[in-house]
Amino acid sequence: MSKRARTSHGRALAAHAILLIYTVIALFPVFVIVINSMKSRREIFRHPLSLPGPGSFDLVGFQTVLQQGNFPLYFWNSLVVTVVSLAFILLFGAMAAFALSEYRFRGNTLMGLYLALGIMIPIRLGTVAILKLMVAAGLTNTLFALILVYTAQGIPLAVFILSEFMKTVSDDLKNAGRIDGLSEYRIFFTLVLPLVRPAMATVAVFSMIPIWNDLWFPLILAPAESVKTVTLGAQMFLGQFVTNWNAVLASLTLAIVPVLVLYLVFSRQLIRGITSGAVK
């Protein structure tokens, strides 16, 4: 018994060592950006790896960037677009995934393939047609235009992943529900959805990233100041001060922090979702 305990101890230690090394690899570049954003220009180049100290601490980059744009507003716009699009993606995606995984009907596989087509062609190619559509609908320079595009763009992946997970939900459970006289809608919302919460959380995180980081559609569909997103705002600086690394690093830091916070919030949900899904 004691031998077994020792090996499991050793194993845990090895696991920690590997995970710790990988954590360093994952976080090191972010660390580089953040520490250097708070240093004077000369120090960035002379000692890129040293922490900002009394001699090198300098917030000039942040001052430059914050003077130029309305970052709180950009942040709010990004948040609205991301959260609303995510809600649509998860709802519509889960409904469609349920239909595909639960019911046998003619064209089921074809419908699955059809809904997956979207991840096979870069949506940027449809830009002109999409822009014309938004112009016709009077939606240019509105956040709703972005929400529509991101919802459409997110659905394929959501359906793809969720239908795989929904296939693992036990038939007995659903049939028991049917015998109790639950409608198909009730079965979906009250029985199936709670069980696939880990997958929903995963899809939420995956879908959130390209929406938050997208530069192209904000630039084309909603470039106006009042609807500008954080990523577009930060990109402006990247072009504008390509040699002013203080400002570049500061705007990169400003772009990282909000999405990091958002991720941490979701990640909480994710853990809760995953564990509650696992315990059952």
202-231 positions binding other proteins, by CB under 8 A: 202, 205-206, 208-209, 212-213, 215-216, 219-220, 223, 231
Question: With respect to other proteins, which residue has the nearer C-beta, 68 or 70?
Answer: 68
Q: Which of residues 60, 79, 84, 236 is near other proteins by CB under 8 A?
A: 236
Question: With respect to other proteins, which residue has the nearer C-beta, 1 or 25?
Answer: 25
User: What is the per-residue burial (b if ≥16 Cβ within 10 Å, else e) of 46-62?
Assistant: eeeeeebeeebebeebb
Q: Please tell me whether residue 79 binds other proteins under the rule CB under 8 A.
A: no
Q: Which of residues 13, 51, 242, 265 is near other proteins by CB under 8 A?
A: 242
Q: Determine the length of the chain.
A: 280
78 Cβ partners below 8 Å, 6+ apart?
A: 212, 229, 230, 231, 258
Neighbour tally for 189: CB within 10 Å? 15
**Segment lying near other proteins (by CB under 8 A), choices 51-59, 74-82, 266-274:** 266-274
User: What is the per-residue burial (b if ≥16 Cβ within 10 Å, else e) of 233-269?
Assistant: bbbbbeeebeebbbbbbbbbbbbeebbeebeeebeee
Q: Please tell me whether residue 62 binds other proteins under the rule CB under 8 A.
A: no
**Segment lying near other proteins (by CB under 8 A), choices 7-15, 51-59, 71-79:** 7-15
Q: Which of residues 9, 42, 87, 194 is near other proteins by CB under 8 A?
A: 42
Q: Please tell me whether residue 93 binds other proteins under the rule CB under 8 A.
A: yes
Among candidates 262, 248, 247, 225, which has minimal Cα distance to 80? 262
Q: Please tell me whether residue 83 binds other proteins under the rule CB under 8 A.
A: no
Q: Which tokens hold the place of 267?
A: 């990640």
Q: Which tokens hold the place of 80?
A: 């609205």
The 17-36 site mask, x for binding other proteins (CB under 8 A), equals -xxx-xx-xxx-xx-xx---
Query: Could you identify the residue written with the tokens 């920690």?
Result: 16
Question: With respect to other proteins, which residue has the nearer C-beta, 48 or 72?
Answer: 48
**Segment lying near other proteins (by CB under 8 A), choices 53-61, 76-84, 199-207:** 199-207
First and final CA of the chain: distance in angstroms?
31
Q: How far apart are CA 83 and CA 243, in angstroms?
A: 34
Q: Please tell me whether residue 99 binds other proteins under the rule CB under 8 A.
A: yes
Which of positions 103-162 make contact with other proteins (CB under 8 A)? 103-105, 109, 111-133, 135, 140, 148-149, 151-153, 155-157, 159-161
Q: Which of residues 55, 83, 183, 194 is near other proteins by CB under 8 A?
A: 183
3-state secondary structure of 242: coil
DSSP state of 142: S
